[in-house]
């Protein structure tokens, strides 16, 4: 835990906080040396040094995320599992891919208490899940968020933080049989261009309406919506799913007696929610809004 902010302080106190062995010398504890980490900006790196410069200083716990996650993660929980004492200044470096398998939860949540601060260094990818393509007579689903923040954090983004793409909207249909008002069927082409419908016989649903696989193998692209036609019905193509941080396209229109319009695409997932808690030291590449 952090050293006291006033009163008597000793070399033994400093050694307990930062480590080291006897005999103790104050010159061992320059910042960025063998023991005192860079977060303690009041401690000099060379020259004159005194005990009073160690008031309020704290050791640093660092760990690296090197394994990919395909379900929502909590930064504080990951740190505790890695051995953090829940007090030291925390530095987490992500060299992997953190993604989500649901649009209802962000890929990474930063919440809870960090008594002496937390730095998140992203050198990998943090990405929300893509929204589903519309199923039948509906709009596309919204993409998921990448990071949800409710605790103060410093983020150094050296790579990519991206909200999931929105799902494509269903295409319109025009029914010329006055007794046939059934909805157009629709599926998803998983981030691919939607195929046209409108054939006079039943056609299979194409692909999967879930968020599409991107080049990293993640379901972070919006699923495209693909409609099919039946006898007595003309259907238009469903909308294409959005890329990272981009809304899905609306479904196509049908010009008939009723001039039906296609349904709108799903909203883009956000790069960060709770951005007011974040101090950015490097912005990197971010797809989606910061709110």
Lowest-confidence segment of 58-67, 170-179, 186-195 by average pLDDT: 186-195
- Residues 130 and 243: their CA atoms lie apart, in Å, by 8
Task: Name the helix (H) or strand (E) containing 187.
Answer: strand 185-188
Judge contact between 186 and 194, C-beta under 8 A. Answer: no
Q: What is the DSSP string of 247-271?
A: PPPPPPP--SSS-PPPPPPPPPPPS
User: Which H, E and C letters describe 171-185, residue by residue?
Assistant: CCEEECCCCCCCCCE
Instruction: Give strand ranges (E) for 189-288.
Output: 212-213, 219-221, 225-228, 233-235, 272-273, 278-282, 285-287
Instruction: Assign 3-state DSSP to the chain and report helix, strand, coil percentages, each to 5.
Output: 10, 25, 65
With cut-offs at 50, 70 and 90, classify the pLDDT of residue 233.
Answer: very low
Q: Which pTM was predicted?
A: 0.78
Lowest-confidence segment of 82-86, 215-219, 231-235 by average pLDDT: 231-235
With cut-offs at 50, 70 and 90, classify the pLDDT of residue 259.
Answer: low
Q: How far apart are the first and last CA of the chain?
A: 33
Place of tokens 């890929």: 107
For the stretch 131-144, pLDDT in tens is 887 766 678 888 89
How distant is the alpha carbon of residue 123 from its chain centre?
A: 13
> What are the structural domain ranges in the chain?
11-54, 61-291
Place of tokens 């006897």: 22
């Amino acid at each position: 835990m952090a050293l006291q902010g006033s009163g008597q302080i000793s070399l033994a106190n400093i050694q307990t906080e930062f480590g080291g062995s006897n005999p103790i010398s104050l010159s061992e504890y320059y910042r960025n040396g063998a023991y005192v980490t860079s977060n303690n900006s009041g401690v000099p790196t060379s020259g004159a040094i005194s005990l009073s410069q160690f008031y309020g200083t704290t050791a640093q716990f660092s760990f690296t995320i090197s394994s990919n996650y395909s379900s929502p993660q909590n930064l504080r929980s990951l740190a505790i599992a890695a051995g953090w004492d829940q007090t030291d200044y925390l530095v987490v470096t992500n060299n992997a891919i953190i993604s989500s398998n649901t649009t209802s939860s962000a890929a990474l949540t930063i919440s809870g208490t960090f008594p002496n601060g937390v730095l998140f260094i992203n050198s990998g990818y943090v990405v929300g899940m893509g929204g589903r393509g519309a199923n039948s007579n509906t709009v596309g689903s919204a993409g998921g968020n990448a990071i949800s923040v409710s605790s103060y954090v410093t983020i150094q983004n050296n790579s990519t933080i991206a909200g999931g793409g929105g799902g494509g909207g269903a295409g319109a249909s025009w029914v010329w049989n006055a007794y046939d008002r059934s909805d157009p069927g629709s599926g998803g082409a998983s981030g691919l261009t939607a195929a046209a419908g409108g054939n006079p016989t039943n056609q299979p649903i194409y692909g999967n309406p879930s968020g599409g696989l991107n080049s990293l193998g993640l379901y972070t692209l919006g699923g495209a919506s693909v409609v099919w036609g039946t006898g007595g019905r003309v259907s238009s193509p469903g909308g294409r799913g959005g890329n990272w941080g981009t809304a899905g396209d609306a479904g196509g229109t049908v010009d008939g007696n009723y001039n039906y319009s296609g349904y709108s695409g799903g909203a883009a997932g956000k790069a960060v929610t709770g951005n007011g808690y974040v101090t950015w030291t490097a912005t990197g590449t971010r797809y989606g809004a910061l709110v």
